[in-house]
Structure 1
Amino acid sequence: MGQPLPGVRKAKPVRKKLAECLALITISLAAHGETLDTSASPGKRLAVAADCVACHSTLGGKPFAGGYPLNSPMGVIYSTNITPSKTAGIGHYSQADFARAVRDGVTPDGTRLYPAMPYTSYAKMTDSDVAALYQYFMHEVTPVDTPSPKTELDFPFNIRASMLGWNALFHSQKRFEADPGKSAQVNRGDYLVNALAHCDTCHTPRNALMAADNAKALSGGSLGAWYAPNITSDKTSGIGAWSSDELVAYLRSGHVEGKAQAAGPMAEAVEHSLQYLGEDDLKAIAAYLLQTPPIATGEQQARHTFGQASNDELSLRGGKPQDNPGWHIFSGTCANCHQANGEGTREYPSLFHNTATSRRDNLIATIVYGVHREVDGVAIDMPAFGPGALFTDRLDDQQIADVSNYVLSRYGNAGLNVTAADVAQVREGGPKAPIAVLARYSVPALVVLGLLILLGLYRLKARRRLQEA
């Protein structure tokens, strides 16, 4: 139940050094069944660092064949086939076509991609890295001629032309530039966090139109049922109380005793990408995060410091289930792995001093969906207890609320309370984004969509005028 749970001008010296470092990203194990060693191409290593396989492959499917369902606030978006198939994939893309799709979200036929594809982050990627990725996908990936499912969002989100206005308002085509006032290591981490590994995509909050609120960069963001926490250097709200070694260990394995365990989308990032990055890359990410401007987001206590062991097994055994339903569910369902006092075992994490028990959403999601990540060939699993659970007793919304409240009161943030309605919301994909709620009203939504397009066109025209001036 814990969360067991990345003409050309001559480069300036710092940028040149950064580019050389990025070209030497060292990944040594396996990704999606493919062995990576020092002979692996730069493009292959970059594809792993960019975590392309996680979103463009389905469980048990062929690598990069697409079809992975991304549950966005606007509906399910299916990832595309990015194998070099000329009929179902990107085999007909030129290098310029590929670069435009990756960095601007526009396909050769003019189709606008939704920003579920993190092109807003990939836009910062260097020309050489994009070129290396193109060579990898065109010459090393096996073509798969099966088309991925078509994304069919409800009106008005099915009007992809609206992305023209959204991009004009929120998408920047500016490439990454190293900060000469920062070390090469910090600049390298900046590039990984905000471009190649696109950590900012999940960990930055979104505004009403689902664009990143960069004024609060990396201060935490909703991912539907899950929540990507604050990873700024704030010592209470963020990761400022973590050491560099702890951050590196977490990125590599998804586990740090007494701190956190990766689940949900973060577990996928560890499994498919981060565990394969070299030590220098992980240290660069840690160095960058630890020097980010601290952003406090209201927490009164660091999320890994809650709770302690309990002795409820002695005091509550024999009582009536209705007197303490949460404890009875915990005792019968959770204690066998996490121990009766919540301190866990070598295989299962402690429930106290665990970030999973500091928030309602991630705790509920962990119980409902379970946890899976595979690190160094070893699978770390916690079964799901929500709808459709296999090999376990399915718990209903009230039971999940009861056991969540018990865990929070004993091992986590006792100031929080979970209701059956909270569980239902997580089970249904998390809170609705304002723009999705607005879309229930077709006419007002159409007006907003039109204004968005007009504003985008106006801004695009203004940009061109400035460039011509």
Structure 2
Amino acid sequence: MRKFLLVVLLIIVLVAGGVAWFVTRKPASAFDNVTETQAPSEQLLQRGEYVARLSDCVACHSTPKSAPFAGGLEMGTPLGSIFTTNITPDKETGIGNYTLADFDRAVRHGVARDGHRLYPAMPYPSYVKMSDDDIQALYAYFTKRVDPVRQADRPSDIKWPMNMRWPLALWNAVFTEPGRYQPKTAGDELWNRGAYLVQGPGHCGSCHTPRSITMAEKALDESSPLYLSGALLDGWYAPSLRSDPNTGLGRWSEEDIYTFLKTGRNQHGVVFGSMADAFNNSTQFMTDDDLKAISHYLKALPGDPARDGTPWQYVEAASDTGSSAAHQQNPGAQTFLAKCSFCHGVDGRGKAPWISPLAGATSSLAVENASQINVTLNGSSRVVASGIPDAYRMPPFRQQLSDQQIADVLTLVRSSWGNHGGAVAPGDVKTLREHTDPASSRPIVLQMR
């Protein structure tokens, strides 16, 4: 019996030791044996700035009140809030002491210089696909071109024991896929460039792919029909980027996608919510070739007719929301006429490309109603194209309309003109009113140099 207990104890010690080694080891970097011997060229620095735009680093590592990349943005999680870190080259509070290998481990593997694990709010499950050349250029830009800012990182408010980082090593082993993006023989050069940009630096799946109970993305590439099929994330519904005719890009052409990413608007809609930040700080700065590659790749992703249902078609209202009968009988119609019809039209068609149509809009057809509630409560950010803010934006109605009024008008919108998104309950509005904070508006456009 004593020998048996000793054997069991030995096994426990060995297993514990193995787990301890696994969770504390630093992953290998492609740059472990690289010695930096000379200053980066101007071409490399410019390439790094472009990769930072592709990766939209500024969106998370900045706030409206901070210098670019100094961190401090609050990000909600089911366990509590975390705050983005300072990635300027300050030696005390930023990444000024990071080597290229340290930087690579943080970006592509989620491991900081001191060995602690990063939360996957940092999209390293996507960034792991980035090429060595792009990582090297990004490092040169952040260490040699970005201005250092002394600003200490703010600790998360996640309580013990859930704030322990070592379990993330096990999470990574199960839910991430190692290795750079490898071109697929089934796709041409343009398709593969688009796939690399969407899956890697663009990390589109971080918002547009549904997550499991473990908060892992359910798919990381087009091999799964769940990839980019739409997801609810922190008060917004990121729609499908597949060819779903109702909730995705099925009615969009490649040119429509390109125009949307290049100008922030097209005949189908205008960027709002988190996508407005992505446009303002990232997609409009991409080259035409890269935008066309992304459009080509996304348009190649098939939809799911079984999930998406019969394609939407415009239906004339039997009695228009502007009629006196509708006005008297439907409180949602009263609110629509007073607050919405001037811009979006009594027919819901909007004034493309400046004002989005409500008829046939993805947000009017998706079961998830968070985006429509959120944008009605809090309005939308300015769309800033080529440094010029637009003259049209959705105003906030948080102070003007009650939960019941917002529920009524959105129920009307989501059931008119062929829309079939479903009714909105006042409780849904109340929940998002409490969850969202209009004071925490995102930056418009930050100059990165």
TM norm. shorter chain > 0.5: yes
Number of the residue aligned with 2:172 = 167
Does residue 417 of the first structure (1) align with residue 417 of the second (2)? no
Partner deviation per Cα, 1:191-227 (whole Å, 9 max, x = no partner): 0000011112111111110111113211111212111
Match of 1:226 in 2: 236
**1:43: how far off?**
0.1
Amino acid at match of 1:312: T
Question: Letter of the aligned partner of 2:140 in structure 1?
Answer: Q
Alignment partner, residue 339 of structure 2: 333
Identify which of 56, 62, 82 aligns with 1:57: 62
Report if aligned partners of 1:204, 1:219 keep a CA contact under 8 Å in 2. Answer: yes
Tell me whether 1:313 sits opposite 2:319 in the alignment. no
Q: How does 1:204-223 map to 2 (within 5 A)?
A: 204-214=209-219, 215=224, 216-223=226-233
Report the identity percentage: 39
CA contact (8 A) 1:237 1:295 kept: no
CA 1:293–1:38: 2 relative to 1, 3 Å:
same
- The residue that corresponds to 2:110 in the other structure is 105
| Equivalent position of 1:396 in the other structure | 402
Amino acid at match of 1:425: T
Correspondence 1:245 to 2:252: no
- Count of paired positions: 385
For residue 382 of structure 1, the aligned residue among 390, 394, 406 is: 394
Aligned match for 1:406, one of 387, 408, 412: 412
TM-score scaled by structure 2?
0.79
Matched residue type, 1:291? A
> Which of 84, 95, 101 lines up with 1:96 in the alignment?
101
CA-atom RMSD in angstroms: 2.5
Spell out, residue by residue over 1:403-440, the C-alpha distance to the aligned partner (whole angstroms, 9 max, x if none): 1112222246246111011112333449xxxxxxxxxx
In structure 2, relative to structure 1, the CA distance for the partners of 1:415 and 1:152 (3 Å cut) is closer
Map Cα deviations across residues 28-77 of structure 1 (whole Å, 9 max, x no partner): xxxxxxxxx99971000110111001111101421111111222333222
Name the counterpart of 1:366.
375
User: In structure 2, how many angstroms separate the alpha carbons of the residues matched to 1:119 and 1:154?
Assistant: 24
* Structure 2 counterparts to residues 144-223 of structure 1, below 5 A: 144-214=149-219, 215=224, 216-223=226-233
Q: Is the 8 A contact 2:364 2:420 kept in 1?
A: no
Rounded to whole Å, the distance in 2 between the matches of 1:415 and 1:263 is: 19
Question: Structure 1 residues 306 and 262, CA, compared in 2 at 3 Å: closer, same or farther?
Answer: farther
Instruction: Tell me: CA distance 1:302–1:199, structure 2 relative to 1, closer, same or farther (3 Å).
Output: farther
Match of 2:291 in 1: 282
Q: Is the 8 Å Cα contact of residues 357 and 407 (structure 1) preserved in structure 2?
A: yes
| Rounded Cα–Cα distance in structure 2 between residues aligned with 1:176 and 1:318 | 56
Q: 1:69 maps to which residue?
A: 74
d(CA) in 2 for partners of 1:83, 1:307: 53
Deviations 1:329-369 (A, max 9, x none): 22222233323443334642232132232232221122122
- The change in CA–CA distance for 1:411 and 1:58 in structure 2 (over 3 A counts) is farther
- Judge conservation of contact 2:54–2:201 (CA < 8 Å) in 1: yes
* Corresponding residue for residue 18 of structure 1: none
Residue identity matched to 2:363: A
Q: Which ranges in structure 1 are unaligned for 5 or more consecutive residues?
A: 1-7, 10-36, 387-392, 431-469
- Counterpart-to-counterpart distance in 2, 1:306 and 1:365: 25
Matches of 1:49 and 1:396 in 2, distance apart? 40
Write the distance in 1 (CA, Å) between the matches of 2:257 and 2:93.
Answer: 40
